[in-house]
């Protein structure tokens, strides 16, 4: 049993807080008490703990296949309204029946497999209108890009064979850059939504609202969107317009790369935030020293902090 410390990873934490903000905007489209949140909470149920802190009236269900992690979840149960299911996600989606009740799903994978897209596709065809789905997938170019050319060729062929039915160009190789690979994964998800909800067959569509890529030591991509009636697309877009992280047009995903700063550094920079222009330069000057190898890297890191500082967690040592 592996227990990755996702609750201690700042980029993952920023992604988690972005979901909380997306749910806040979802509230403009309906009563959150009508929703049930479904997720893969891991050992410590961090997203459920956070969701309960902000929205204690949302019903919650955690799906976990591993028996030992399931026992760990029982120990760390943050509240009585959270129901734990000891089963695999594919089986749960197969038996899931919404009965026109709205849902919020986070398909939080640590891998990139065709079965993940099949789960997503199956769920798209089941959820009620105005339900939210977030899907997170591994997006690591190093899985396929190898220096040894014969091995790189074989890995590319394996990728194309595995995902040819959902690739925008089935003859192309996996990209080498993280941002390009993440965008390819997003395009594959977009094609999956079109296959699941074709315009000629259903009044429903999947409207994206945000997408990000980041690293937890491994490259990851995450997409959030809403299944809605096609004639309610404008209504959904209005709910998310003005959000700095909104992606309503399948544009390239935004990078999350939050720098590690001490509490003293964060408090020192707080007086300059929010900073709308030249944030990297302004915060570097305020700090007075470099936090990375050179000025451009330091300013890029502080630019990221300026963007995500409200979503950046504090990690502290405490005495239990």
For 60-71, write each residue's pLDDT tens digit: 999 999 999 999
- Separation between Cα atoms, residue 39 and residue 62, nearest integer Å: 5
What's the gap between Cα 235 and its chain centre? Answer: 23
Cα separation, 205 vs 222, in Å, equals 19
DSSP string, 31-54: -GGGEEEEE--TTTTHHHHHHHHH
Rounded distance between C-alpha atoms, residue 172 and residue 175, angstroms? 9
- Position 317 scores a pLDDT of 65
CB 101 within 8 A of CB 72: no
Q: Report the alpha-carbon angle 279-281-285, nearest 5.
A: 115
Q: What is the DSSP letter of 231?
A: G
CA distances from 277 to 116, 261, 281, 306 (A): 39, 21, 9, 10
Which of 48, 93, 105, 95 is CA-nearest to residue 227? Answer: 105
- Rounded CA-CA distance 291/285 in Å is 12
Whether the full predicted model's pTM is greater than 0.95, yes or no, is no
CB 158 within 8 A of CB 140: no
Q: Do residues 304 and 255 make contact, with C-beta atoms less than 8 angstroms apart?
A: yes
Omega cis (within 30) before 183: no
Domains and CATH numbers, the chain: 6-256 (3.40.50.150), 263-311 (no CATH)
Q: pLDDT at position 8, please?
A: 58
Residue 58 has which token pair?
């949302």
Burial string for 274-283 (b: 16+ CB within 10 Å, else e) reads ebeeebbebb
**Residue 281 half-sphere exposure, CB side, CA atoms within 13 Å?**
3
Ranges under pLDDT 50 in the chain: 1-4, 6-7
> What three-state secondary structure class fits 4?
coil
Give residue 9's pLDDT.
81
For residue 133 the two structure tokens come to 């789905």
Helix axes 114-124, 178-196, angle to 10 degrees: 40
The closest alpha carbon to 113, from 175, 177, 163, belongs to: 163
Identify the pLDDT of residue 3.
45
Please report the pLDDT score of residue 314 as a whole number: 75
Judge residue 234's burial from the number of C-beta atoms within 10 Å of its C-beta, 0-12 exposed, 13-18 middle, 19 or more buried.
exposed
Mean pLDDT over the full length of the chain: 93
pLDDT value of residue 251: 98
């Amino acid at each position: 049993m592996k227990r990755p410390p996702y609750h201690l990873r700042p980029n993952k934490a920023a992604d988690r807080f972005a979901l909380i903000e997306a749910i806040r905007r979802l509230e403009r489209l309906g009563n959150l008490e009508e929703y049930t949140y479904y997720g893969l909470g891991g050992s410590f149920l961090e997203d459920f703990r956070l969701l309960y802190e902000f929205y204690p009236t949302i019903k919650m269900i955690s799906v976990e296949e591993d028996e030992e992690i399931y026992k760990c979840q029982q120990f760390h149960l943050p509240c009585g309204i959270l129901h734990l299911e000891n089963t695999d996600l594919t089986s749960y989606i197969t038996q899931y029946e919404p009965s026109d009740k709205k849902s919020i799903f986070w398909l939080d994978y640590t891998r990139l497999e065709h079965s993940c897209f099949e789960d997503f596709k199956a769920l798209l065809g089941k959820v009620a209108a105005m339900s939210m789905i977030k899907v997170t997938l591994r997006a690591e170019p190093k899985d396929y890009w190898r220096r040894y050319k014969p091995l790189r060729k074989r890995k590319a062929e394996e990728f194309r064979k595995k995902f040819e039915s959902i690739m925008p160009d089935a003859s192309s190789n996996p990209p080498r850059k993280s941002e390009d690979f993440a965008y390819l994964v997003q395009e594959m998800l977009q094609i999956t939504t079109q296959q699941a909800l074709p315009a000629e067959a259903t009044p429903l569509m999947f409207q994206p609202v945000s997408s990000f890529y980041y690293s937890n030591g491994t490259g990851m991509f995450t997409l959030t969107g809403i299944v809605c009636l096609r004639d309610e697309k404008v209504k959904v877009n209005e709910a998310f317009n003005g959000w700095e992280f909104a992606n309503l047009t399948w544009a390239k995903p935004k990078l999350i790369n939050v720098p590690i700063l001490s509490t003293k550094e964060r408090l020192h920079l707080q007086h300059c935030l929010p900073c709308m222009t030249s944030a990297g330069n302004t915060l570097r000057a305020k700090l007075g020293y470099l936090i990375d190898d050179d000025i451009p890297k330091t300013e890029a890191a502080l630019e990221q902090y300026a963007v995500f500082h409200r979503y950046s967690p504090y990690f502290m040592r405490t005495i239990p």
